[in-house]
Structure 1
Amino acid sequence: MEHKWRKLFSYYKPYKWLFISDMFFAVVGAAVTLVIPLIVRYITNQVTALPLNDAVQMVLRLGVLMIGLVLIEFVCNFYIAYYGHIMGAKIEYDMRNEIFAHYQKLSFAFYDNQKVGQLLSRVTNDLFDISELLHHGPEDVFISLIKMIGSFVILFQVNMPLTWVAFAFLPVMLVYAFYFNTKMKHAFKQNRAKIADINSQIEDNLSGIRVVKSFANEEIELKKFYKGNSKFVDAKKRSYLYMGGYNSGLGALTTLVTVVVLMAGGMFIARGTVNASDLITFLLYINNFTEPVKKLVNFTEQFQNGYSGYERFLEILDVEPDIRDGKDAVPVRNLRGDIKFEDVSFRYEDSTDKVLHHVSLDVKAGTYIALVGSSGAGKTTLCSLIPRFYDVTSGRITIDGIDIRHMRLKNLRDQIGIVQQDVYLFAGTVMDNIRYGRPDATDEEVIRAAKLANAHEFIMEMQDHYDTDIGQRGVKLSGGQKQRLSIARVFLKDPPILIFDEATSALDNESERVVQDSLERLAANRTTFVIAHRLSTIRNAEKILVLTEEGIQEEGTHEELLGINGIYAHLYQMQFRKEEAAAPS
C-alpha cells in the first residue's frame, strides 16, 4: 500500500512548483472569500458610526479594497482552473506514455487473454479519472477545509450561540449528500453499462449489416435496438430521480440554514444579544460553509473512481513481460539464416497440453520449408517461436548457432519478415504502410519494394497513387492488394528469414497467382517457412514437413511424400478432389 501511495505522489514530482503554486492560489482564493464578509461587518459596525464625510471616504477606500480582493479572487480561480488542469493533463500525459510503452513490451501470451476494449479503457477512462483526482482532489479538500474551519472560527468569535445554530445543519447536509451521492453513483454506473450495451449492439449491427440486409431482418434489428434503448431511458430516469433529490435537497437545506439563522438572529436581536451587523455577517458566511459540503462529498466519489482507476493502472504496470532481453543478450546483425530446433516442446501458459512435442529440425540458410497438417497441429505456433512471440517450454532454438534467447529481441525480429493471412494495414497512405517495413527508407526504396511485390501497377491506378489514403485497416483495398502491400513491406525490410502464414489461403485464384509470384520472388535466397493451406502452392518446396499432434510425422519433397502414400498424400488427394469438383465443367 505504501508503495502505491509513494508512486502516486511521484507523478507530482516533475510539476511540484506547479502543484505548490496551485495550492497557494487555492489558499489565497479561499482566504479572500473569508475576508470580504469581515469588511462588510466592519462597515456596518464601525464605519456607519463615523461622521458623514469620514464614513463616505472610508466606504470608498474599503470599496476599492474589496474590488481589489475580487480581482485577486478572479486571478486565483483562473490560475486554479487553467494551470491546475494543465498540471492534471501533463500527469495524465506521463501516465499514458508509461502504460502505452508497457503495452509495447508485453508478449502475445498477455494479449491472448485480454480484450482490446478493456486495455483501451485503462488508457482513456481510467487515466482521466486519475488525473481528475490528482488535480481536483488536494485542491478541493484544501479549499473546503479552509472555508469550513475559517468560517467556524470567525463566526464563533462573532457570536457563539448563532454559530451553533448555523453549523447544526452541517451533519444533516453531509448525511443527506452522502446518501444521494451513493444512489447516484450506482445509477450512473448502470447508465454506463446500458450505453455500453447499446454501443455493442450498434457495432454488431453495422459490422454485420450485409447479413442483416441479405436476410431482410431490418425490422428485427430495430426491435432489438428499441428494447435496449428503452432500458437505457429507464436507467436514465432512475439516475435523474436521485440527481434531482440531491440537488434540490441540498439547495433546500442551504436555504433552510439561511431561514433558521434569520429567525434565530431576529430573536437574538430582539433580546439584544446580537446586533444587525453580526446577523448580516452570518448570512454572508452561510455559503462559505455549505458549499464545501458538496465539494467534500464529490471528492469521496472522485477518490473512489480515481483510486480504483489507479489500481487498474498499476495492475497492468505490475505485469512483467515474460519475453524480454536477458542480461547476456547480444546484438546480432546480418544473420545467414541457419535455424535449428533442438528437442523443442511448447505449451501455452494456461494449458496443460503441449502443442509441440520434442521437435528437432535443422534448416540450412536459404532453404524453402513448407509446413502442412491439420488445424491445431502447431504449424503457426512453431513459426511464432522463431521471432520469440512465445518462448519454448523446453529445448532451444538457434540461429547461426546462437540461442535466440541470447539475442537482443529487436535485433532478432529485425532479421525476420512475416506475411500473414490476416493482413493488418494502418490508417494512412499507401506510402506510410509500405514504409512501416523500414521507417527510414526513401520514397525511391518504397517504390522499388512495391514493384518487386507486384503492387506498383495497381497503386498507380489509384487517385493519389502512393499518397492515397487506404482507410481504416485498408478497407478501400481488395484482399490481394492488401496482401501485396504487406509483401512490399517485407521486401523493404529485406530480412534473411521469412515466415508466410497461409498468406494466400483467403484469396481468389487470380489474386493468388499474382501474390504467389510475389512471394516466390521474395523468398529467393532467404530461409523461408511457409504454412500452407493450399498444397498446390508448395510443390516446389525443398522440404515439406507434415505436423500432427504428435510432432513432425513426415518430411521430404512433394514427390517423396506422395511416394510414401502417407498423411501428406492423403491430404493432397482430398484437396485435389475438392478443387476438381469445384472447377467449372
Structure 2
Amino acid sequence: MNQSDHVPELAGAAPHGAHTAEKPAPAIIRLRAVLAAAKYHGLELDIRDFAAEPGEESPSPATLSRWLREQGAMAKGMRIRWRYLIKMTNSPPIVLMFRDGSAALMVASSPEKGVIWLRDPLKDESAEPVPVDELRLSRLWTGDVLLVKGQVGQSEAEAPITFGWFAKMVLREKKSLRDIAIASMALSILQIFPPLIVMQVIDKVVNYHSLSTLISISGIIVVFSLYEVLLGYGRQEISLILTTRVDARLSLHLFSRLVALPLEYFERQQTGNMLGRVMAIYKVRDFLTGKLMSTFLDLFTLFVILPFLFYLSSTLAWMTVATAGMIGLIVVIFTAPLSRIMDKQIAAERDRSAVLYETVAGIRTLKTLALENSRKQLWDEMTAYVVRWKLASGRIANWPQTLVKPLDMFINRGIILVGAYLAVVNPSAVGAGGLVAFMMLGGRVAAPLVGMAKLMDDYTEVMTSLGEAASVLNQPTETKALTTGMRPVIKGALSFEGVNFTYPGATTLALKDVNFDLPAGTMLGLVGRSGSGKSTITRLLQGVSRSYTGYLKLDGIDLREINLTHLRRSFGVVLQDNFLFRGTIRENITAGRPGYTIDDVIRAARMAGAEEFIERMPAGYETFIEEGSTNISGGQRQRLAIARAVITDPKLMILDEATSALDPESEALVNANLERIGKGRTMVIVSHRLSSLVNCDQICVMDRGTVVDLAPHAVLLERCEIYRTLWMQQNRHTEGRHTQKNTPDQDTSLLVEGE
C-alpha cells in the first residue's frame, strides 16, 4: 500500500478508526507544511481535498503546486541552491522538501550568520524555529522548494476568454518563439543564395562554358541545401513542440473552466449544442499556431527577399507588389459577406451536432420506442440546412478565388514575359540570369502578401468561433466559492430563517418564507405534492443555488460563507437516478477519494446493503461497470450510490427520491439500511412514498413553496389535512384489501348463527 492510501486516515478524514502510530508519515508532514504556507496567505485548505498521483509515496513539488492552483492559490516548485536560498530574507514561509519525503517551513534567514530558521509544520505557529546551517541542511534537503502565495487579481484561469487571452497563452512560450524566429530568419537568408547561384550559372557558366566554376557552384548549392533542410526540420520540430504545449495548456484550461460552471447553467442548456460551441475554441488554437504563425514566419522571407528583388529589377518588383496588393484587396472586399454566411453555416453544423449527440445519449429510448425514422427525418432536415449554407458559402468563396486566379497567373507567368521584353529592349536592365532569379524569388514574395490578405477572412471565422466558445466559457463560474470560504467541522444542525428563492427566469417563488430548525442527528422527511419545493430545499443545501434570500445556516454558519468544495464533500447525496462512471465497482465507490482502502470500500458497501450482490459477481469489487450501468440492476445501482455517499462518513445526508425507482424488495432493503446509516447523522429524505418516512424524527409538509407543518408521522395524521390526504391516497388500496379479506368471514358467521 502506498503512502497516499494513508493520507485521509492520518489527516483525520477517514470515516472510522484512527492511526496508532505516534509519528505521522513523511507525506503527511509535507502536506501539513503546504497547508501552513497557504494559511499564511489567508488560504484555509483541507487536506482531504488532496489526491496523490499514482506511484508517488510523497507528493512532489509539481503535484503540490498543481493542487494549490486548483484550490485558488499561486504556487511554483523549483530547485534552488543554498547561496540563493539564504538571501531570501523577506520571503513568506517557504516549503523545503526533504529526502525522506517530509518537509519543513523556512520562516527566516540570515546571510551574515549563515543560517536559516526552520519550523516544524506539525507544531503550532508560536513554536520556536530552529536555526540550521548549510552543512546540516544538506544532509536533509533535496534542493527543491515550493513557493506559495495568494492569488492577486484575475488569474489566467479566470480571465475572460478573448483573442488577447489566447495570444497571451501563445506568447508565454517565449523561448520556442525566439528559436522559431531565429530559424525563420536564417532560412530567409539562405533562400536568397540559390537564385543568386542560378543567376551566376546562367550568366557565367553557360555563357563561358566554365566547368570548374560549375563544380564550385554545385558544392556551394549542396552545402546551402543541407543547411536549409536541417534548419527547416528544426523549425518544424520547435513549432510542433510549441503547438503541443499550447494545446495541452488550452485543454486543461478548457476542462477546468467547463466543470467550474454552476449546475444551473448546464440544466438550462442543450448539451450537444453547448459542447459544439465549446469545441469551436480549437479553431482559434489552429489559427494562432497554424495560419497566423506561418504567415508571420513568411514575412521574414518577404522583408529579406523584397529588397533583393528591387535590386534585380525595380520595375518587375513594383509589378509583383502591386498585383499581390490587388489580390489582397479582392479578398478583403469579400470578407464581410462571406463571414455572415459562415456564421450561419457554423450555427447549422452546431445544431446538427446537437441532434447527433442527443440521439446517441438517448439511444435506449430511441430503440425501445422505435423512433429511428423520426430521428432520421430530423437528421435529414438538419443536414439539408447545413448543406444549404455550405453551398452558399462555397459559392461566395468561389468569386474571390476566380477573380484572384488571373492575377496569380500574371505573377507566375506574366512577369516572365514582361521581364523577357525588358531584357530584349534593354539588356542592361535585367539579364537572363537575373530574370530567372527574379522568377524563383517573386513567387515567395507574393505568397506572404496574399496570405496576409487571406488572414482577414480566417480572422473573421475565428472570431465567430471564439464568440461561440466564449458564450459558454465566460459564464460566471463557481471557482471563487470552490476555493474560498470557511471550512468548519460539520455536525449537521440546520436552520432555515425566512428563506425565499426564485429560479432564474421564473416569476413565482419556489420557496416562500421557509422557517424551521433541525438539530444535528435528526432524520427529516420532506413530503408534498409535485412542485411544492422539496427538491429545491435539497438544491440549496448542496450549494447548487446560492441566490436565495434569508438565512440558511449549517451549524450556525450561513451556507454562502462555507467553502463550496468543503460543503459538498461533507454531504452524502443520493438521487433518484444516480450516475455511475465507467470503471470498476471499487473505483465508483471511492470516486474522487483515491486514498481510501479496500477495507473502507467493503465497510461502505456493507452499510449500503451492497456487499452481498457484489461478492456474488465474478470479479467482486473489481467488476467493471459498463457505460450507462447496463450490466447491473436499478436497485444495485442505487445501493452502490449509497455506498459512495457513506464512505466519507458524512454528518449530513440527502436522499432525493432515492428509492422511488426501486422494486418493493430493493426498497425495503434500502430503507432498512438507511435506518442503520442514519444513526448519529442528520438525514434529509425526500420521498413521495410516505411509508418510507414513517420512522423519521420529523416530517416537513411542503405546499407551493411554503412549510405547512412540521411534526412526526402520528401527529401529522391527526392535524395536517394535506399529509392525511396524501397518506390515505397511498394506502387506500391496502385498507380496501383488508376490508375485502374480512367480509367473507363475517358473512359465514352470520349464516352459522342463522342456521
Is 1:467–2:637 an aligned residue pair? no
Matched residue type, 1:574: Q
1:86-105 equivalences under 5 Å are: 86-105=241-260
Q: Decide whether aligned partners of structure 1 residues 515 and 77 sit closer, same or farther in structure 2, where only a CA change above 3 A counts.
A: farther
Q: What per-residue deviation string (whole Å, max 9, x for no partner) do you get for residues 540-562 of structure 1?
A: 11111111125111121212111
Q: Decide whether aligned partners of structure 1 residues 21 and 572 sit closer, same or farther in structure 2, where only a CA change above 3 A counts.
A: same
State how far apart, in whole Å, the 2-side matches of 1:93 and 1:115 are: 27
Matched residue type, 2:181: M
Q: Decide whether aligned partners of structure 1 residues 325 and 160 sit closer, same or farther in structure 2, where only a CA change above 3 A counts.
A: closer
Q: Which residue of 1 aligns with 2:432?
A: 276
Stretch of structure 1 that moved more, 225-234 or 567-576: 225-234
Is 1:173–2:324 an aligned residue pair? no
1:27-38 equivalences under 5 Å are: 27-38=185-196
Name structure 1 gaps, 5 residues minimum.
none
Shift of 1:220: 5.4
Shift of 1:423: 0.4
**Bigger share in helix:** 1
Is 1:39–2:193 an aligned residue pair? no
Is 1:76–2:231 an aligned residue pair? yes
Give the one of 431, 434, 453 matched to 2:586: 431
Q: What per-residue deviation string (whole Å, max 9, x for no partner) do you get for residues 454-474 of structure 1?
A: 222322333433222212242
SS at match of 2:498: strand
State how far apart, in whole Å, the 2-side matches of 1:246 and 1:492 are: 65
1:262-273 equivalences under 5 Å are: 262-273=416-427
SS at match of 2:701: strand
Stretch of structure 1 that moved more, 296-305 or 360-369: 296-305
Aligned length: 580
Q: Which residue of 2 aligns with 1:85?
A: 240
Q: Decide whether aligned partners of structure 1 residues 88 and 522 sit closer, same or farther in structure 2, where only a CA change above 3 A counts.
A: same
Give the one of 524, 549, 555 matched to 1:394: 549
SS at match of 2:731: helix
With a CA cutoff of 8 Å and minimum separation of 6, indicate the structure with the bigger relative contact order.
1
SS at match of 1:493: coil
State how far apart, in whole Å, the 2-side matches of 1:194 and 1:330 are: 46
State how far apart, in whole Å, the 2-side matches of 1:92 and 1:517 are: 51
State how far apart, in whole Å, the 2-side matches of 1:394 and 1:564 are: 30
1:85-484 equivalences under 5 Å are: 85-121=240-276, 123-126=278-281, 128-136=282-290, 139-178=293-332, 192-205=346-359, 218=372, 222=376, 225-226=379-380, 228-229=382-383, 232=386, 253-273=407-427, 274-310=430-466, 319-321=475-477, 324-325=480-481, 329-333=485-489, 335-391=490-546, 393-436=548-591, 438-484=593-639
TM-score by length of 2: 0.69
Q: Decide whether aligned partners of structure 1 residues 231 and 581 sit closer, same or farther in structure 2, where only a CA change above 3 A counts.
A: farther
Q: Decide whether aligned partners of structure 1 residues 360 and 237 sit closer, same or farther in structure 2, where only a CA change above 3 A counts.
A: closer
State how far apart, in whole Å, the 2-side matches of 1:372 and 1:319 are: 35
Q: What per-residue deviation string (whole Å, max 9, x for no partner) do you get for residues 310-369 of structure 1?
A: 556666665444684599943323x32222222222223444432222222111121111
Matched residue type, 2:573: I
Q: Which residue of 2 aligns with 1:18?
A: 176
8 A Cα contact 1:370 1:532, kept in partner: yes
State how far apart, in whole Å, the 1-side matches of 2:201 and 2:231 are: 25
Shift of 1:18: 0.7
State how far apart, in whole Å, the 2-side matches of 1:186 and 1:311 are: 14
1:418-567 equivalences under 5 Å are: 418-436=573-591, 438-549=593-704, 551-567=706-722
TM-score by length of 1: 0.87
Q: Decide whether aligned partners of structure 1 residues 3 and 355 sit closer, same or farther in structure 2, where only a CA change above 3 A counts.
A: closer
8 A Cα contact 1:132 1:302, kept in partner: no
SS at match of 1:354: coil
8 A Cα contact 1:345 1:392, kept in partner: no
Give aligned-pair identity as a percent.
26
Stretch of structure 1 that moved more, 360-369 or 243-252: 243-252
State how far apart, in whole Å, the 2-side matches of 1:177 and 1:581 are: 82
Matched residue type, 1:433: N
State how far apart, in whole Å, the 2-side matches of 1:356 and 1:342 are: 12
State how far apart, in whole Å, the 1-side matches of 2:332 and 2:734 are: 71
State how far apart, in whole Å, the 2-side matches of 1:149 and 1:328 are: 52
Q: What per-residue deviation string (whole Å, max 9, x for no partner) do you get for residues 459-509 of structure 1?
A: 233343322221224233222111111101012111111111111112222
Stretch of structure 1 that moved more, 312-321 or 299-308: 312-321
Stretch of structure 1 that moved more, 4-13 or 155-164: 4-13
